[in-house]
Chains A and B, each alone.
Chain A
């Protein structure tokens, strides 16, 4: 087959048109211009192909060559992913930095690291050319294996990195699969299939726009524990679920996403910084080496894959970054891991769609976003889920997707927030008023919800507390009543309220200040295990019992409201230690009886 080359006929921003690419397919990767900029065919018409270019297009000329690559945009999946930092096209930013490339200029040094090439250069570029991995096989020559079957594993830090038969390889018989040390591009064994002998490698590639197949989808069962009280106790998300975090700027979206990256009990975290701040990515990176994963004992970075597409990187690469993240998450799910996929922010991704759509002169939908915004978002959120993955032995993996949304002007009625809401099962609305009152995490209890409560309740009731649901309902009820009462107070003042309502206000305030608020940078309170969260909730609710008991005792209610033991409760967030739950229970015991003589 001769190599067909196209020629540029027109160019505007990231969109280039070319003639002579009749045999190209939509989604095919092409090389544009003399520097071989990475592009992707997004539309074909007779005589003209439309290409979105993933890099700065300045310098391109009409007549410049466009060369098809024959393959779609794909990710390289294998050992070397964990702990690495990639850009939106899986260029290894950490290795570029180690190489002294601190400034990414279009088409030059970075292009040399860009792993879309065919053959063995791609995986070596993406995953590291020099590392050798000690492969321990679990199957042997003569075994019959098929798509998704686990062949063995390598140790990647504290994680066992499973090596699977790629989903797109036919069933066959293993000719050989010896143990041994291998580089990323070398074959580890061979498989005899009906169509011929296929070499097996540590790394496999997968087109990022295609979800990796699973054997069977499963309903969700367990929460993704985040260490955040307001989430785990009031608005939990399931492992395999999806949640959106909309919030205007300054409401703490990124801080919350980063807290999830640090503290959630996922096995693997894929963090996509999509169109966000470079310094924040640097801060996240700087914090990881010092943080220890309590479950593996290794550094947290060892379970994390970072994709950093900062806001000043080319817009088309931003569109791709989220897809690379989802594909990497699916790859670890296929190994049977519980994966958290954190995307900050999906709005920037949607804006990238809008910008490219505008350049294509497509008819706009709402607020200039393309009409297919909803279906693209659905395609992203539906990659979340819990499933029996492909292949033997049977494994259950999950992807929990958390998408931050940055609504313009903090207005949740905008298209990205609304389209995301239809897709996610939990909604953590960040509230500017709360953020301004320095109530963090600024998750609004009036707007947020979780549709996973019923599915997760059995787990909470068996593992933590048979009365979890009641306690949760009581807390939410208190907060709702407080909201109503505050409207009254704004009109007539607090003194005009009956005592019963004053108690509600006081307890709701305790609930907000002593329980819901949680300082992301506090060394002890940044994340709490669920037992401690629940003990604190019980303690706050005990204060309600104590104050309610004083109702009707006019003389002592005022004193009880100012009891020093309530101050202890207010400061209980800073307590720590192995006996914390016992201390909180003891405090709760003292709170249920606030009669002055009972106060020490």
Chain B
């Protein structure tokens, strides 16, 4: 295996034979002089296999090393520990696009060696909040429910909350291959797999291959079978490359991180091994801070051309949005896209439940001059009607549909059509104009006094007999 991380080769190496204690992913070693916190360590076992680790704690006599590949196969007496004197650094380069790399950024395809342009500390820095350019460029994903109701904006971090068996991967691949900022080049994508299966990884590779975009994507793969602790490095490597491409080379970069749940579990595993006091459900109390150091790397910087958009995928254990992982993610990210098992069961694809969906930076990206002047009010109106329709649906199970007023029956019907026609668009890519056409067709079926969120002048400008140009169908029920 080639050591493309290049850290160990050049520096003065201090060696230590034998360790004091081995516990899960941790090695407790006697403290050699001059060991630094965060320093990278190379551990060689009796079998000659090299493992990598990092110093995470210094005590008066001992040092604690976390081993990314675990400690299986090591013994106390003959294990060789080498301190490299350097933190973990990743060599980054645009050559990594089109390549498949392991969870630590080393190529695992058959391609040529990567010549790094620069070595970077994968922990990155903090974007100065005063230097941030505030996200304001609408990204067309081609998915109506997202484009209309929870618009993605360049530089945003927007997770997909999903449940086991729901098609989050398909949605993420679709966004990554189809997303574009109006009038600009497509995105480059960095895909960071954290503990997902080979099947899921293959799906993504196939999806990108089918879209002809394989040369615009870099894969970082830490699969379910790979060492769990290495998972803590994978998103950091991916984001470091993304920062290089975005802020040094000026590209628009989309980073897909999947699955955040597996990442959090790796963090919990490490916390438990360190005998830390756990927070909720055994996850460490610093899970929020740790996830924030990943997601907050998204953004745009004033005066620099590129952007870094992050799309994490979070599997909610038991579809529970209050579980600590989606809960803390939601507190960090700028909204969320939520998939619903009920809609999926009802053959609505993509099964996006728009009620809990939210895009916090949407307002800056939509409206006159960006999307459509009426975008906000149309989104609010669709949302309000659908929310009422869903409530009525609950009511109908108790009192029956016959007990509803005419107006309530109209709203109920709207909710059904909204799910089928607007959300359940199937695999087609809809331009923003096409999405608006569908939205207006649904709204046009209702009498104007139901549309309380839409100002009278917008309706007046709209209602003089419009025909629908994309499908050729006349709008139904126009009054």
Binding site for B on A (CB under 8 A): 8-13, 56-63, 85, 87, 93-94, 96-97, 101-106, 248-250, 254, 273, 275, 277-283, 285-286, 308, 310-313, 315, 348, 351, 354-355, 358, 364, 367-368, 406, 408-411, 436-438, 489-495, 513, 521, 567, 570-571, 574
A101 and B327 in contact, given A57-B37, A312-B292 (Cβ under 8 angstroms) = no
Q: Within the assembled complex, what's the spacing in Å between the Cα atoms of A11 and B405?
A: 69
CA distance A11 to B59 in the complex (A): 6
With A and B bound together, what is the CA distance between A58 and B125 in angstroms? 12
Q: Which residues of B contact A312 (CB under 8 A)?
A: 126, 289, 292-293, 296-297
Contacts of B398 in A (CB 8 A): 490-491
B302, B395, B399, most chain A CB atoms within 10 A = B399
Determine if B324 and A105 form an interchain contact, defined as CB atoms under 8 angstroms apart. Answer: no
Task: Return the CB mask of B204-229 against A: 1 if under 8 Å, else 0.
Answer: 00000000000000000000000000
Q: A60-B37, A409-B327, A495-B403 are in contact. Are A570 and B452 (CB under 8 A)?
A: yes
Q: How far is the CA of A11 from the CA of B355 in the complex (A)?
A: 46
Within 8 A of A (CB), among B357-384: 358, 360-361, 363-364, 376, 380, 383-384
Interface size of B by CB at 8 A reads: 82
B398-428 residues with Cβ-Cβ distance < 8 A to A are 398-399, 403, 405
Docked CA distance A364–B277 (Å): 8
5 nearest A-B residue pairs (beta carbon) = A58-B38, A409-B322, A311-B292, A102-B131, A249-B330
Contact in complex: B125, A105 (CB < 8 Å): yes
A59: chain B residues at CB < 8 Å are 36-39, 87
Q: A277-B296, A490-B398 are in contact. Are A61 and B34 (CB under 8 A)?
A: yes
Contacts of B285 in A (CB 8 A): 351, 354-355, 358, 368
Query: Does B305 reach chain A (CB closer than 8 Å)?
Result: no
| A102 and B36 form a contact (CB under 8 A) | no
A310–B134 CA distance with the chains assembled, in angstroms: 14
B123 contacts partner chain A, Cβ-Cβ < 8 Å: yes
Chain A residues whose CB sits within 8 angstroms of the CB of B358 once the complex forms: 250
Please give, as numbers and ranges, the residues of chain B lying within 8 Å of A513 by CB-CB distance: 452
Q: Known contacts being A10-B58, A283-B361, A567-B449, is A96 close to B128, with CB within 8 Å?
A: yes
Residues on A with C-beta less than 8 A from B87 are 58-59
Which of B3-11, B184-192, B331-339 faces chain A?
B331-339
Rounded to whole Å, the gap between the CB of A202 and the closest CB of chain B is 23
Chain B 244-298 residues near chain A, CB threshold 8 A? 247, 276-280, 285-286, 288-289, 292-293, 296-298
Q: Does B84 contact A (CB under 8 A)?
A: no
Q: Smallest CB–CB gap between B301 and chain A, Å?
A: 5
Known: A60-B36, A250-B335. A101 touches B128 (CB 8 A): yes
Other-chain contact of B128, A97, A254, A364, A567 (Cβ < 8 Å): A97
Within 8 Å by CB of B126, from A60, A104, A364, A438, lies A104
The 8 Å CB contact of B361, one of A279, A313, A490, is: A279
Is B125's CB under 8 angstroms from A103's CB? yes
Give bound CA distance, A281 to B133, whole Å: 10
Query: What is the minimal beta-carbon distance from A78 to any residue of chain B, in angstroms?
Result: 20
- B-side interface mostly: mixed
Q: A279–B334 Cα gap in the complex (Å)?
A: 8
Q: A571 and B330: CB pair below 8 A?
A: no
Q: What residues of A have a CB within 8 angstroms of the CB of B384 in the complex?
A: 437-438
Interface set, chain B 423-479, CB cutoff 8 A to A:
449, 452, 455-456
Docked pose: A308 CA to B296 CA in angstroms:
13
Q: How far is the CA of A9 from the CA of B63 in the complex (A)?
A: 11
Q: How far is the CB of A17 from chain B (nearest CB, A)?
A: 8
- In contact, B279 and A285 (Cβ under 8 angstroms): no
Does B117 lie at the interface of the complex (its beta carbon under 8 Å from any beta carbon of A)?
A: no
Chain B, Cβ-Cβ closest to A284: B134
Q: With A and B bound together, what is the CA distance between A316 and B376 in angstroms?
A: 40
State in angstroms the CA–CA spacing of A96 and B130 once bound together: 8
User: Is A9's CB under 8 angstroms from B279's CB?
Assistant: no
Contact B134 A61 (CB under 8 A): no
Does B132 sit at the interface, judged by CB under 8 A? yes
Task: For residue B438, give the distance in angstroms from its CB to the closest CB of chain A.
Answer: 20
Q: How far is the CB of B163 from chain A (nearest CB, A)?
A: 17
Residues of B within 8 A of A93 (CB): 128-131
Distance (Å) between the CB of A511 and the closest chain B CB? 14
Cα-based distance from A13 to B322 in the complex (angstroms): 28
Tell me if B35 and A62 are in contact (CB < 8 A): yes
At the interface, yes or no: B151 with Cβ under 8 Å from chain A?
no
Q: A104-B125, A438-B387, A570-B452 are in contact. Are A283 and B331 (CB under 8 A)?
A: no
Q: Are A438 and B37 interface neighbours, CB within 8 A?
A: no
- Centre residue among A8, A56, A58, A437 by max chain B CB count within 10 A: A58
Verify B355–A436 contact, CB threshold 8 A.
yes
B342 CB, nearest partner CB in chain A, Å: 15
Bound complex: CA A94 to CA B332 (Å): 23
A62-B60 contact in complex given A250-B335, A279-B132, C-beta closer than 8 Å: yes
- A351 partner residues in chain B, CB cutoff 8 A: 285-286, 288-289
Find out whether the CB atom of A285 lies under 8 angstroms from the CB atom of B134.
Answer: yes
Task: Decide yes or no whether B345 CB sits under 8 A from chain A.
Answer: no
Across the interface, name the chain B residue whose C-beta is closest to A9: B60
Tell me if B127 and A367 are in contact (CB < 8 A): no
Give chain A nearest CB distance to B29 CB in angstroms.
13
Instruction: Judge if B33 is at the interface, Cβ distance under 8 Å.
Output: yes
Q: Given A102-B302, A102-B304, A438-B383, A56–B123 Cβ distance below 8 Å?
A: yes
- Can you offer 21 A-B residue contacts whose CB atoms are under 8 A? A57-B37, A63-B34, A93-B128, A103-B124, A250-B356, A275-B292, A278-B126, A279-B132, A280-B360, A286-B134, A308-B130, A310-B292, A311-B296, A436-B355, A436-B356, A438-B380, A438-B387, A493-B399, A494-B405, A521-B376, A571-B456
Q: What's the least CB distance linking A363 to chain B, in Å? A: 9
Once A56-B123, A59-B36, A277-B332 are accepted as A-B contacts, the answer to whether A574 and B455 lie under 8 Å apart by CB is: yes
Q: Whose C-beta in chain A lies nearest to the C-beta of B357? A: A250
Check B277 against A368 for contact (C-beta < 8 Å): yes
Tell me, in angstroms, the Cα distance from A571 to B131 when the chains sit together. Answer: 40
Q: Is the CB of B130 within 8 A of A367?
A: no
B129 contacts A310, C-beta separation under 8 Å: yes
**Which chain A residues lie closer than 8 Å to B279 at the CB level?**
354, 367-368
Residues of A within 8 A of B278 (CB): 368
Most B C-beta atoms less than 10 A away, residue of A59, A106, A491: A59
Instruction: For A311, list chain B residues within 8 Å (CB).
Output: 288-289, 292, 296, 332
B240 contacts the other chain (Cβ, under 8 Å)?
Answer: no
User: Could you tell me which residues of chain B, from 297 to 337, have a CB within 8 Å of some CB in chain A?
Assistant: 297-299, 301-304, 322-324, 327-328, 330-332, 334-336
Bound form: Cα–Cα A103–B37 in Å: 22
Q: How far is the CA of A521 from the CA of B362 in the complex (A)?
A: 11
Tell me how far the C-beta of B368 lies from the nearest C-beta in chain A, rounded to whole angstroms. 12
Shortest distance between the CB of B123 and any CB in chain A (Å): 7
Q: Does B91 touch A at the CB level, under 8 Å?
A: no
CB contacts under 8 Å to A, within B96-136, are: 123-135
How many angstroms from the CA of A315 to the CA of B135 in the assembled complex?
A: 25
Whole-angstrom CA separation of A254 from B304 in the bound complex: 27
If the complex has contacts A10-B60, A62-B58, A308-B129, are A278 and B299 also in contact, measured as CB distance less than 8 A?
Answer: yes
Contact of A249 with B327 in the complex, beta carbons under 8 Å: yes
Q: Which residues of A contact B57 (CB under 8 A)?
A: 10-13
Please indicate the chain A residues that have their CB under 8 angstroms from the CB of B132 in the complex. Answer: 278-279, 281-282
Complex CA distance for A367 and B277, rounded to whole angstroms: 10
Given contacts A13-B57, A364-B277, A490-B398, 9 further A-B contacts (CB under 8 A): A58-B38, A59-B36, A60-B58, A61-B36, A275-B289, A286-B134, A355-B285, A409-B324, A567-B449
Minimum CB distance partner of B383 in chain A: A438
Q: Pick the contact of A358 from B39, B59, B134, B277 — CB < 8 Å? A: B277
In the assembled complex, the Cα of A495 lies from the Cα of B130 at a distance in Å of 57
Complex CA–CA separation, A94 to B292 (angstroms): 22
What residues of chain A lie closer than 8 Å to B33, measured between beta carbons?
62-63
For A285, the chain B residues whose CB sits under 8 A away are 129-130, 134
A34 to chain B, nearest CB (A): 11
Residues of B within 8 A of A106 (CB): 125
Query: Chain B contacts of A567 at CB under 8 A?
Result: 449, 452
